[in-house]
Amino acid sequence: MTTRDRDEQGRPRNARPRDEYGRPLPYGSAGVPRVPDDYAPSTEQALADAREQLAAGRPFHAHEVLEGRWKCAPEHERDLWQGLAQICVGLTHLQRGNARGAVTLLARGAAKVQAYGMPYEPVGRVATELRQDSDPEEAIASVLAALEKIWPGDI
């Protein structure tokens, strides 16, 4: 039995390597670089890093970036960052062929993002328009295009 990796406070960490789609690989595999557990980006850094990951076709890793911001953001921004992260998880499910899970998470994330109104509403609208049979690459590109219209000063 493998013991779970934990931090100094005893909380579980996920040190298991992942592939470019975020799927777990066996321990000892190379995998792709991961977002560190203690990643706490500024708004600017989170947007830039998430866009970079989406442009590379890696929404799972974009989700990890956005989750890092969600955890350290001011209270009034947390639902926005959580919604953006959920949209990226939805894209990940679409990439992996889990169409039902994709639609569920895209809708959940879109609702949180759209609650913030403009200029975030288009990101949520794009996410709600995606379907179970949406092409993953096109879906990622659509969300990225909408996300590129949001600037740090907007948040």
Q: How high is the pLDDT of residue 90? A: 97
The span from the CA of 153 to the CA of 16, in Å, is: 35
Confidence of residue 132 (pLDDT cuts 50, 70, 90): very high
Q: How high is the pLDDT of residue 20? A: 79
Asked if residue 52 has pLDDT above 60, the reply is yes
What is the chain's percent helix, strand, coil content, to nearest 5?
A: 55, 5, 40
Q: How high is the pLDDT of residue 68? A: 94
pLDDT in tens, 1-33: 556 566 666 655 567 888 877 778 788 888 887
Q: DSSP letter at 16?
A: S
* Residue closest to 54 by CA, chosen among 10, 12, 2, 91: 91
Q: How high is the pLDDT of residue 126? A: 97
Q: How high is the pLDDT of residue 29? A: 84
Q: How high is the pLDDT of residue 14? A: 66
pLDDT in tens, 60-100: 999 999 999 999 999 999 999 999 999 999 999 999 999 99
pTM of this prediction?
Answer: 0.85
